[in-house]
């Protein structure tokens, strides 16, 4: 047996080496789909072997007492997802790394501000003219922020903020610009690079809908039939909103997030109603727990087979994402092989054995860094009628911020807001396309932020390598010049002016926005490498998507709900009047059909 295992490892290593060579010489995206898939599998195996690093568990903290309820349901704090290591992935766990730990020490303080983040914001990121992502809709932009609020968050501290110097032409009202620092690990290891902890669980568990603290989670419960409380606008009641108002997620809340929160609270309650009809013996707690499992798995499925193929629409990646969820056989044929051992390649990751690939599970700082996608957000929104496409209102982004969500919901029926988002384009993930309103974001507490400058500084502050070093650690060829980095000679000159002709100083986020993208891609191939690794890992490491994705845990009806639904069916269940707009649209995150064909589609 040992010899067989050694032989399998050697074969995997050889395949990974060959895939890396083919990718560097030809590029996976230039290959026919079957060969491209084989190369991506080899690259994923190489990334698993070489780009998963454990930062350890901070001292202190203990799991809750053993309780059999934890075996069949997700916990608020993420404990007991892994039964052998109950604290793995729970609230307060450190972010892991995809870069070797020796490469994650932040640069000296003076280099962390070089080039000046505010200068980069003004000269490289400012949206002079809106550049649309024509293959996506604004619902796709709202979706990724909705999911990010489930996946990760860092706290910040007010003490010793970063002081960013400003030049004389900068209209910023405070001099110098003050940017809060990321909160350090409360129990750091003095001998290693700085570590940071998450304020959410690392698991894909729907915490943005169900609450990240026990207090909020309990306040959301109706106490009857497992359902969640919703007010007349389809939003969490005001008392729940007040409980959550101090969180960073609440401060970033806007109409786009509110739409998706409302949609999946409705979906939870619909699941509860269905399960209660099938299992009248279930208690309120059992219905809640089962519905959360089902709703969360459905959100993960939507992200895998709907959102991701929309934003990386290359034929190879579309096939790969469907294979990740349903395997090569697909969902229909899966039923014929239910009694056979579950092979993830043939039948998809859900239901396969849990696998950590020898590294404790966590999301990583590099994963956080590549998901900085603020350019997706437009500055201006046109709200239209879902019945005839007529314009109902026009708003700038600040008019849709947290303090105006209820006003917008009162003025415009939710189905019209959803239709308007489905009908409109988000921004492209490129330079010179950062939302102007987010470069001068006025928070409810009166503070003013430049999110573009903050995005640049956060990546540096947390020890994520700069662009070329990031490519090296992923075994990609570094760029040797600004002309090689971008296919736009004007942008190449702008980059050279900012970075002093030193391509090694280019920030990761700037490089990701500047590099040419593969066919059908909304984000860069460099960022995609982290996605290749972590998209599968988030599913493979979670027992509720793997070993416990089974009828005994979800109920047969719960698994059928996940199997038979998608973003389209969720939208149409709660807003059937959107059927005309979705008619002929293959992906709900692609632009929808105007409901009055006589009107312009601009």
Catalytic residue set: 371
Helix, strand, coil percent values for the chain (each to nearest 5): 50, 10, 40
Q: List all residues 6 or more positions away from 246 whose beta carbon is below 8 Å from its beta carbon.
A: none
CA–CA–CA angle 239, 245, 251 (5° rounding): 145
User: What is the maximum alpha-carbon separation in the chain?
Assistant: 71
Where do runs of H (alpha helix) occur along 136-237?
Answer: 138-151, 207-210, 214-220
Task: Return the number of other C-beta atoms located less than 10 Å from residue 157's C-beta.
Answer: 11
Cα separation of 325 and 531, whole Å?
15
**Three-state secondary-structure class, residue 328:** coil
Q: Dihedral of CA 271/275/278/283: which sign? A: negative
Cα separation of 503 and 513, whole Å?
15
> Is the CB of residue 571 less than 8 Å from the CB of residue 418?
yes
Neighbouring-strand partners of residue 228: 221
550: left (phi > 0), else alpha (psi -120 to 50), else beta?
A: beta
CA distances to 161, 178, 179, 181, 247 from 158, rounded to whole Å, are: 6, 10, 9, 7, 15
Burial environment of residue 169 by CB neighbours within 10 A (0 to 12, 13 to 18, 19 or more) = exposed
How many Cα atoms are found within 13 Å in the side-chain-facing hemisphere of 376? 21
Q: Residue 240: is the preceding peptide bond cis (ω within 30°)?
A: no
CA distances to 134, 365, 531 from 98, rounded to whole Å, are: 32, 8, 11
Rounded to 5 degrees, φ, ψ at 162 are -70, 135
Task: Render 467-482 in DSSP notation, one character per residue.
Answer: HHHHHHHTTPPPPSSH
Burial state string for 295-317 with b = 16 or more CB within 10 A and e = fewer than 16:
bbbbbbbbbbbbbbbbbbbbebb
CA distances to 221, 284, 381, 460 from 555, rounded to whole Å, are: 21, 15, 42, 46
Cα separation of 13 and 4, whole Å?
14
Q: List all residues 6 or more positions away from 480 whose beta carbon is below 8 Å from its beta carbon.
A: 503
Neighbouring-strand partners of residue 162: 179
**Three-state secondary-structure class, residue 441:** strand
From first CA to last CA, the distance across the chain in angstroms is 63
Cα separation of 92 and 98, whole Å?
19
């Amino acid at each position: 047996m040992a010899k067989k295992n050694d032989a399998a490892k050697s074969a995997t290593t050889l395949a990974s080496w060959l895939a890396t060579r083919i990718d560097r010489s030809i590029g996976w995206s230039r290959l026919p789909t079957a060969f491209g898939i084989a190369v991506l599998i080899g690259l994923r195996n190489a990334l698993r072997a070489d780009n998963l690093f454990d930062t350890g568990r901070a001292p202190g903290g203990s799991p809750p007492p053993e309780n059999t309820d934890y075996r069949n349901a997700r916990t608020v704090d993420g404990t007991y997802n892994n039964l052998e290591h109950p604290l793995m992935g729970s609230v307060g766990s450190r972010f892991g790394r995809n870069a070797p730990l020796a490469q994650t020490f932040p640069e000296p303080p003076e280099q962390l501000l070089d080039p000046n983040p505010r200068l980069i914001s003004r000269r490289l990121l400012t949206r002079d003219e809106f550049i649309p992502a024509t293959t996506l809709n604004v619902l796709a932009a709202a979706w990724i922020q909705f999911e990010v609020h489930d996946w990760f968050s860092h706290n910040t501290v007010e003490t010793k903020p970063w002081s960013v110097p400003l030049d004389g032409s900068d209209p910023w009202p405070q001099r110098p610009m003050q940017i809060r620092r990321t909160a350090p690990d409360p129990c750091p290891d003095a001998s290693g690079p700085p570590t940071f902890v998450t304020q959410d669980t690392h698991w894909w568990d729907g915490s943005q809908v169900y609450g990240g603290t026990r207090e909020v989670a309990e306040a959301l419960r109706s106490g009857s039939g497992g359902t969640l409380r919703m007010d007349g606008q389809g939003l969490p009641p005001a008392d729940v909103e007040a409980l959550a108002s101090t969180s960073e997620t609440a401060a970033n809340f806007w109409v786009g997030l509110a739409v998706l929160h409302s949609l999946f609270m409705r979906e939870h309650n619909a699941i509860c109603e269905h399960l209660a009809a099938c299992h009248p013996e279930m208690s309120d707690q059992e219905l809640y727990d089962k519905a959360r499992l089902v709703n969360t798995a459905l959100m993960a499925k939507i992200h895998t087979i709907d959102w991701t193929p929309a934003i990386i629409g290359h034929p190879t990646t579309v096939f790969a994402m469907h294979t990740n969820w349903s395997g090569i056989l697909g969902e229909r044929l899966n039923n014929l092989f239910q009694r056979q051992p579950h092979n993830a390649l043939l039948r998809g990751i859900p239901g396969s054995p849990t696998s950590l690939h020898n590294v404790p599970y966590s999301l990583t700082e590099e994963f956080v860094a590549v998901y900085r996608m603020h350019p997706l957000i437009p500055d201006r929104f046109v709200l239209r009628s879902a019945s005839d496409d007529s314009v109902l209102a026009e708003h700038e982004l600040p008019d849709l911020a947290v303090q105006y969500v209820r006003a917008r919901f009162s003025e415009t029926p939710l189905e019209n807001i959803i239709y308007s988002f489905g009908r409109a384009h988000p921004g492209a993930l490129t330079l010179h396309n950062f939302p102007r309103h987010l470069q001068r974001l006025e928070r409810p507490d009166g503070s003013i932020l430049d999110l573009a400058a903050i995005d640049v500084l956060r990546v540096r502050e947390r020890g994520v390598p700069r662009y070329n070093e990031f490519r090296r650690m992923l075994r990609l060829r570094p760029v040797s010049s600004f002309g090689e980095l971008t296919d736009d000679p004007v942008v190449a000159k702008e980059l050279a002016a900012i970075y002093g002709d030193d391509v090694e100083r280019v920030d990761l986020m700037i490089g990701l926005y500047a590099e040419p993208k593969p066919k059908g891609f909304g984000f860069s191939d460099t960022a995609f490498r982290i996605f290749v690794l972590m998209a599968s890992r988030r599913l493979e490491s979670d027992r509720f998507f793997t070993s416990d994705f089974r009828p005994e845990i979800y109920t047969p009806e719960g698994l059928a709900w996940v199997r038979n639904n998608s973003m389209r069916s969720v939208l149409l269940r709660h807003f059937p009047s959107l059927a005309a707009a979705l008619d002929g649209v293959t992906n709900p995150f692609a632009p929808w059909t105007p409901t009055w064909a006589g009107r312009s589609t601009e």
